[in-house]
Structure 1
Amino acid sequence: MGEHTERTTDDSSLMEDVYPLSPVQLGMVFHDLYSPDAGVYLNQYVFSLRGRLRPEVLRDAWRHVLGHLPVLRTAFVWEGMDRPVQVVFRHAALPWEEHDWRGCTADERRERLGRYLEAQRGRRFDLLEPPLLRLALVRVEDEEFELVWSYHHLLLDGWSISLVLQDVLASYDALLRGGTPVLPRRRSYRDYVAWLLRQDLAAAETYWRATLRGFAGPTPLGVDRAPDAAASGPAAFGAAGRLLSADATAGLQSFARQHRLTVNALVQGAWGVLLARYSGEEDVV
């Protein structure tokens, strides 16, 4: 175990809390360790900001939120443990960068931003070193900025993002006015894990065995594939991308909100429909 991990487990003064992982988190940690260079669970958001932004105040707003939300100060420890645990640190330094690209043309900025995002995706997070997030503020014009937020999916899901951003905006507004941010208390992820541990796992297993009765294997895709094309070993997958227009993105977000879904759940549903079309089967596993 590294120096930081030893401090984590041996020096309780550094820790605010320690509790188990949820089943979803356990799966993410396994895949992160099994395929450390895959970057599957590194998420990125890019926000375009317009107006007389004060970068130092925005930075301090993020620092305040980092101190306010325990989940953002969480590390994950597994070595020397019977089962992995998540450790909430009392303090964590905010990884913050600022860049000035005002001398670039619009095309140069797009290309440069693309390279920067790709480079950030290639920098994996050390699960032992909180916070598992990075921020970069890029000034592209005097009153135009791009805020890049990279974070590990272990910390946040789609619903959580909006809550974090609400706290950041409220903190920025308070600091801009010379006040101290007063933020609402968010329900701890520990509470959710505790709720999971109280559930009847035997009843859940009975339900899923009944639901999946009759399925002997995954859904066949019905497309030609070479015999050796099946995934094997770490990071045995490919990637494809397609940019959506701003209008299409806004439409998806609006539809998801109306139906109380995350955009990710909406995309997963569309993926299921596509697999059903390929396989010719109504049920997809």
Structure 2
Amino acid sequence: MRYPQPLGTEVVRTRLNAVVATQPALRVSLDLADLLNPRQFVNPAGFEALEEANFIANGESENHLRSILKADRARPFKLDQAPLFRVTVVNPGQPGECLVLTVHAALLDYSSIRRMSRWLAEGPPSIEELTPQPDGIDQPPSASVANPAYLEAFWKPRLRDRAPTLVASDSSAPTSPRSEALSVERLVLGQDVPAALEQLAVRLRIRPEVVIEVAWGLLLSKLGRTETPQFGVWGESDLVPSNRPLGIHGNLVPMRLEIRPNDSVVAHLTSTARERSQICSHLDVSIFELADWAGLKRGEPLFDSAVRCR
């Protein structure tokens, strides 16, 4: 059986430029994540979903996409067997600036993907869409999502001591004869964070994904040094424009790798000054190698690991 190969960057850009023609300030691309072995895409329907996702914002092909996602969710799957999508938003006015989201199709429902597409097309939701609704629960006054200080002031006390916190950070400057030195930070976040956020959602009577998106939006806006929180996306400014950003999204939090210039698809996973592991081809990436590098025990999910290069 032949599996769909990841689409090239130019092909994706050409296909989707027409979709976002009404948003000239942004260039959006959607592609199968090319970090996993194509053999691991056990359900070729994921490739169809890739095509259909282009039209979600316009409400087209809803039934088809919903049937694909329903079939995926009904089938037991392993972390390294679920189709992945990577969404990249690039601002041509700011060279090297991009937002990357890699999505596990089997972990998302239809409404999540539709909402993500709407956010890409129209921008993040207003504060009213992100805050609790009725029944005596505290609601913040009207505020703009462009006010990160206010968002943090509202959500921080509600997340309390269970908010995502940095518990480990290692810096190094790996070098390569064919690339500039990069500083790599390894971030490992508390294992109890997802459950705590879900409990918070129950108390506030809002959808768990809203709390999760807000929490990670606040955290990633700091890590990515963005002026405003980015919800549902990974915000990062790539200071070495020739580097190619890739991402893995296991449960909730992206793992981000940096592909060095002129090294083809060789990815260097490092948390110390010396090279810890080298992946010679993106077709040979091992989920377990990534988990081991991130400091997780065998079999643990990748939701609590994040990597950024600066």
Judge same fold: TM > 0.5, yes or no.
no
Task: Give the TM-score normalised by structure 1.
Answer: 0.25
Structure whose residues are more often helix by fraction: 1
When normalised by structure 2's length, the TM-score is 0.24
Q: Comparing both chains, which one has the higher relative contact order based on Cα–Cα distances under 8 Å and sequence gaps of 6 or more?
A: 1
